[in-house]
């Protein structure tokens, strides 16, 4: 049954492969690999995957192991363990020794420290793989993007890198060596790796990046900031990790990797998600997201890194866990949905839930749809615009900074279900309708009517900065349209940029929400470019006219 759900998504979403496992406390109940009919390589139990941010669970468990031994205090200032670590807090309203510390391990592990998403060295678009110490040194005097005392989650790979550096400082071991000795070895995870080797590369499942115009092979290189997301593992190894979580932190041989009390602490939400989040892991504890599946408490984490989308969902009270590894960039919503389906199948088999139904099929778009619907739309009273764009026989809504595929369900009704969002996604506006005669889009509870682009000329101050930045394997584009500056980053995540009084811009979008964009930045070697937060991206070419 699980494989039927997986196979449908592989075909429908054109995914190179999806691998999965369902476990209970005693072992693996079901596992498999489904490849697309066009795939040239089949997968097996030795196939490796990039698990991305599932790595953060290892980092958090490492910190809690040290806390159990009294070596660290997760509520102490991080500067106790990393001297000189004191990011600038522009939100600080109280000074003095009685103030609550701005940055603690608890805040770092729960993403409530207000840290920038990426570090200057070792960020997601940096393929130089700098040492962890260099990454953390650059964060010591960084500027916080949010108030660390507000309790609001702002996802930060940089913050988890700092937590990993604390593990190194207090244990005297490199991060990889510590995790290997204290988590992987006790669990028998002997096929989990922290860096590329010839063998790892040869066994790595092929993965794809994508845009609405086509797919391309994912780049393969080690990321900096290993504690946040640079681990390679197999389905069977990660199943062993899931079984440990189901056993309250105990390995199958009875060895305690982390105490049940520590897991309970880690699975208790600390902060709150930003307004508008409606996903399945609505809470976030220490290295783990928290939510529910059909009323059962769930914990887990997702991961995304250059072509790989992963999901681990654990139902501790039901005694079941599901793993899904997809080899298509940004397909996390699909991985999450399939993990939930696998758990629902497991619950139903134990008479603890209802067997899920296969999702409904869609109708093909007509020639009229593809001819009439594309264009720019705006709703009365809203400043935002939405664009419907055709690509071959597919239609996309470019309304939230990512391409939302529009599927036809009959009459005037359509549904958003693509490689980013679909049924049960953490996105509230999946349904829409379109009146072909009136050429009116109904979406977000409003009627959107066709309009033409403003045609407003590019301001002279912005013209020199438009163009392409960053590495060729992941270019960033600055453009100007409809009266505002836009930053397209990580292949298709578009952010509109709000001008600030100091000449910088505040980015608004899916990945880099709230980050500062600086134009005309210069790095230490004299290269010109832009900064997104602390990330420097060198100028590649001017805008193509």
Q: Can you tell me whether residue 453 is helix, strand or coil?
A: coil
* Cα–Cα distance measured from residue 158 to residue 138, given in angstroms and rounded to the nearest whole number: 10
* Structural Rg of the chain based on CA atoms: 23
Beta-strand pair 516-522/505-508: antiparallel
Domain that holds residue 533: 463-542
Residues 323-339 have pLDDT tens digits of 999 999 999 999 999 99
Same domain, 303 and 343: yes
> How many domains does the chain fold into?
3
Segment 140-168 shows an average pLDDT of 95
Distances (CA, A) of 493 to 107, 434, 513: 27, 25, 11
Mean pLDDT score, 2-14: 96
Return contacts of 406-411, CB within 8 angstroms, 24+ apart: 406/432, 407/362, 408/362, 408/363, 408/364, 408/365, 408/366, 408/369, 409/360, 409/362, 409/363, 410/363
Q: Are residues 321 and 372 in the same domain?
A: no
pLDDT in tens, 101-111: 999 999 999 99
Among 184-193, 269-278, 357-366, 454-463, where is mean pLDDT lowest? Answer: 269-278
Q: What percent of the chain has pLDDT over 90?
A: 88
Same domain? For 388 and 480 the reply is no
pLDDT of amino acid 427? 85
For residues 420 and 330, state if they share a domain.
Answer: no
CA 450 to each of CA 98, 391, 444: distance values in angstroms, whole numbers, following the listed order: 57, 19, 16
Sequence-distant (6+) residues with CB within 8 A of 499 are: 485, 505
Q: Judge if 296 and 328 occupy the same domain.
A: yes
* Cα dihedral across residues 164, 166, 170, 174: positive or negative: positive
pLDDT in tens, 236-285: 999 999 999 999 999 999 999 999 999 999 999 998 877 665 555 678 99
Q: Tell me the pTM.
A: 0.93
* pLDDT one-digit tens code per residue, 441-470: 999 999 999 998 777 899 999 999 999 999
Q: Counting runs of H as helices and runs of E as strands, what totals does the chain give?
A: 13, 28
Task: Give backbone dihedrals phi and psi of 431, rounded to 5 degrees, phi first.
Answer: -100, 140
pLDDT band at 360; cut points 50, 70, 90:
confident
Average pLDDT, stretch 10-25? Answer: 97
Give me the percent of the chain exceeding a pLDDT of 70.
97
CATH number at residue 210: 3.40.710.10
- Has residue 545 got a pLDDT over 50? no
- Same domain, yes or no: 77 and 14: yes
Stretch 29-53: mean pLDDT, rounded?
96
Same domain, 68 and 10: yes
Does 433 lie in the same domain as 519?
Answer: no
Considering 419, 451, 483, which residue would you say is the last residue of a domain?
451
pLDDT, one tens digit per residue, over 492-543 is 999 999 999 999 999 999 899 999 999 999 999 999 999 999 999 999 987 5
Question: Do 331 and 399 reside in the same domain of the chain?
Answer: no
| 328 plus 414 within the same structural domain | no
Distance CA 132, CA 137 (A): 9
Q: What is the DSSP letter of 274?
A: P
Tell me which residue of 342, 254, 353 sits closest to 300, measured CA to CA.
342
Judgement on whether residues 129 and 106 belong to the same structural domain of the protein: yes
With CA atoms as reference, report the closest residue to 265 among 292, 286, 291, 244. Answer: 286
């Amino acid at each position: 049954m699980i494989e039927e759900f997986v196979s449908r998504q592989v075909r429908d979403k054109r995914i190179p492969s999806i691998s999965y496992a369902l476990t209970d406390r005693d072992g693996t109940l079901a596992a498999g690999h489904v490849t697309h009919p066009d795939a040239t390589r089949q997968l097996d139990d030795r196939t490796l995957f990039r698990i991305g941010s599932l790595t953060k669970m290892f980092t958090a468990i490492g910190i809690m192991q040290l806390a159990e031994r009294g070596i660290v205090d997760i509520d102490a200032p991080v500067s106790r363990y990393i001297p000189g670590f004191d990011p600038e807090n522009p939100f600080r309203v109280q000074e003095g020794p009685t103030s609550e510390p701005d940055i603690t391990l608890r805040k770092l592990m729960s993403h409530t420290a207000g840290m920038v998403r990426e570090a200057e060295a070792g960020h997601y678009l940096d393929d130089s793989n700098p040492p962890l110490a260099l990454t953390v040194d650059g964060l010591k005097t960084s500027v916080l993007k949010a108030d660390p005392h507000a309790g609001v989650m702002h996802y930060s790979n940089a913050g988890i890198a700092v937590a990993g550096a604390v593990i190194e400082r207090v244990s005297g071991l490199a991060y990889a060596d510590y995790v290997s000795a204290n988590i992987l070895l006790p669990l028998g995870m002997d096929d989990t790796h922290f860096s590329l080797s010839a063998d790892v590369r040869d066994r790595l499942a092929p993965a794809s990046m994508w845009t609405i115009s086509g797919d391309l092979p994912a780049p393969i290189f080690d990321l900096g900031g290993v504690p946040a997301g640079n681990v390679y593992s197999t389905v069977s190894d990660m199943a062993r990790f899931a079984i440990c979580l189901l056993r309250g932190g105990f390995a199958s041989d009875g060895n305690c990797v982390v105490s049940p009390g520590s897991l309970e602490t880690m699975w208790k939400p600390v902060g709150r998600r930003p307004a508008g989040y409606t996903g399945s892991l609505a809470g976030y504890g220490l290295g783990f997201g928290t939510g529910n599946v059909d009323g059962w408490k769930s914990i887990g984490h997702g991961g995304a890194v250059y072509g790989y989308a992963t999901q681990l969902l654990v139902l501790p009270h039901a005694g079941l866990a599901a793993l899904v590894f997809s080899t298509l960039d940004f397909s996390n919503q699909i991985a999450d949905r399939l993990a939930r389906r696998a758990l629902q199948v497991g619950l139903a088999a134990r008479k603890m839930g209802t067997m899920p139904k296969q999702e409904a099929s869609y109708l093909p778009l007509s020639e009229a749809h593809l001819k009439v619907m594309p264009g720019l739309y705006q709703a009365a009273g809203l400043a935002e615009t939405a664009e419907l764009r055709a690509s071959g026989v597919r239609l996309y809504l470019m309304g939230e900074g990512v391409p939302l595929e529009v599927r036809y369900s009959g009459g005037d009704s359509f549904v958003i279900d693509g490689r980013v969002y679909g049924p049960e996604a953490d996105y509230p506006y999946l349904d829409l309708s379109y009146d072909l005669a009136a050429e009116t889009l109904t979406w977000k509870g409003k009627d959107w009517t066709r309009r033409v682009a403003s045609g407003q000329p590019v301001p002279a101050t912005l013209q020199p900065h438009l163009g392409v930045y960053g590495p060729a394997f992941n270019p960033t584009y600055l453009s100007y349209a409809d009266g505002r500056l836009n930053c397209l980053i990580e292949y298709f995540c578009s952010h509109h940029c709000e001008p600030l009084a100091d000449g910088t811009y505040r980015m608004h979008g899916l990945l880099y929400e709230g980050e500062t964009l600086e134009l005309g930045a210069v790095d230490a070697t004299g290269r010109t470019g832009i900064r997104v937060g602390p990330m420097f991206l060198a100028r590649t070419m001017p805008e193509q006219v």
